[in-house]
Amino acid sequence: MAAWLTGINTLKIQPFKLPSVLGNHEVRVQMKAVGICGSDVHYLKTMRCADFIVREPMVIGHECAGIIAEVGSGVTHLKVGDRVALEPGISCARCNFCKEGHYNLCSEMKFFATPPVHGSLAHQVIHPADLCFKLPENVSLEEGAMCEPLSVGVHACRRAGVGPDTHVLVMGAGPIGLVTMLSARSFGAPRVIITDVDEYRLSVAKNLGADDTFLVSTDIKDADKEVSALQELMGAFVDVTLDCVGVGKTMTTALKVTKAGGRVCLVGMGHHEMNVPLTPAAAREVDIFGVFRYRNTYPLCLDLLRTGRIDVRPLITHRFGFSQKEVEEAFETSARGGNAIKVMFNL
């Protein structure tokens, strides 16, 4: 059985037919923990996310971990009973992007719950064994599922060159902003400040280890005064800004607040197009990076969790089972936001 998206605001638990025979290098995984991502909610509300459109019923979900139930004949590094986190994207492994190591940019990527590929909110899935990462003994299945959003933060910090000599500003204290803040801290950033329009989420960020938080407005007219206040609050140059919202105001703020010669990483994709002061930023040699998903992050994420350098457990605020009623309630809870950070299914 699986949770199928069949129409706007319509999810149904229905049979999910899987192949009876595994490929040599595949595994069958009994799903145990699946988180709800913002993209899942977008698909539920609009049947699309950016340029990806749901044209026929699709199994939802991609943040997941489970237990190996069966292994293909060629699988040697996993066995039945192993607990694993699943990296949800299967690249072609043949194109230039894949060969150069940038497999997240593969145009043939098959990613859980990205149309027309089915997702992982199901009792079982079949997946390539090399995309299933064995969990350390002290890392739970829920933490394993959190490797997916955490990977976005880790990839963003890698792209932006976050390290012990970079003062970091994170725009947005939603789930991705929070894992990005945690990633920046684990990369050694000496000072990390995070902004949001919601005081509750800022309080969560503070409890998770942000050095300071800053309440911003949604009015673009406030950007300049907020830039000055943020620079003063940092007490040093803002070396790297990570925009985890991705709307005109946050990107405008990011470009203005970052020091000359600094770096801005666009993580969030709130707006498809934005009007931003690009020329003044270019005149100050502010480098701008984009991120799309992630690559080669799961081993590092699991090590960060194993060693305790990152603790994602406080982000999991709501838990649900896998009945029709609970699936509907879980998505409603996630869509409302408020005090819901990460909503998790326990199957």
Cβ within 8 Å of residue 201, ≥6 positions away: 173, 174, 178, 341
Please give the share of the chain, as a percent, with pLDDT higher than 70: 100
The enclosing H or E element of 336 equals helix 324-336
Q: In which band, very low, low, confident or very high, does the pLDDT at 338 lie, cut at 50, 70 and 90?
A: confident
Give the CA distances from residue 300 to residues 155, 295, 307, 318, in Å, rounded to whole numbers and listed in that order: 10, 11, 11, 26
Confidence of residue 309 (pLDDT cuts 50, 70, 90): very high
Share of the chain above pLDDT 90, in %: 96
* Mean per-residue pLDDT, 138-144: 98
* Inter-CA distances, 83 with 90, 113, 262, Å: 20, 22, 41
**Is residue 126 within 8 Å of 27, Cβ to Cβ?**
yes
- Region label for 30, one of left (φ > 0), alpha (ψ between -120 and 50) or beta (otherwise): beta
Is the predicted pLDDT of residue 235 greater than 90, yes or no?
Answer: yes
Q: What is the pLDDT of residue 82?
A: 98
Helix, strand or coil, per DSSP, at residue 59: strand
Instruction: Give me the chain's average pLDDT, please.
Output: 96
CA atoms within 13 A on the CB side of 55: 6
Binning pLDDT at 50, 70 and 90, where does residue 270 land? confident
**What is the mean predicted confidence (pLDDT) over 253-257?**
98
DSSP 65-129: EEEEEEE-TT--S--TT-EEEE--EE--S-SHHHHTT-GGG-TT-EETTSTTS--S-BSEEEEEG
**Quick one: pLDDT at residue 97?**
97
Tokens of residue 128, six digits: 């390539």
- The first and second tokens of residue 111, run together, are 């990613």
**pLDDT reading at 272 higher than 90:** no
Nearest Cα residue to 233 out of 181, 183, 170, 142: 170
Choose among 291, 304, 308, 292: nearest CA to 161: 291
Gap between the Cα atoms of 210 and 194, Å rounded: 7
Report pLDDT digits (tens) over 43-63.
Answer: 999 999 878 899 999 999 999
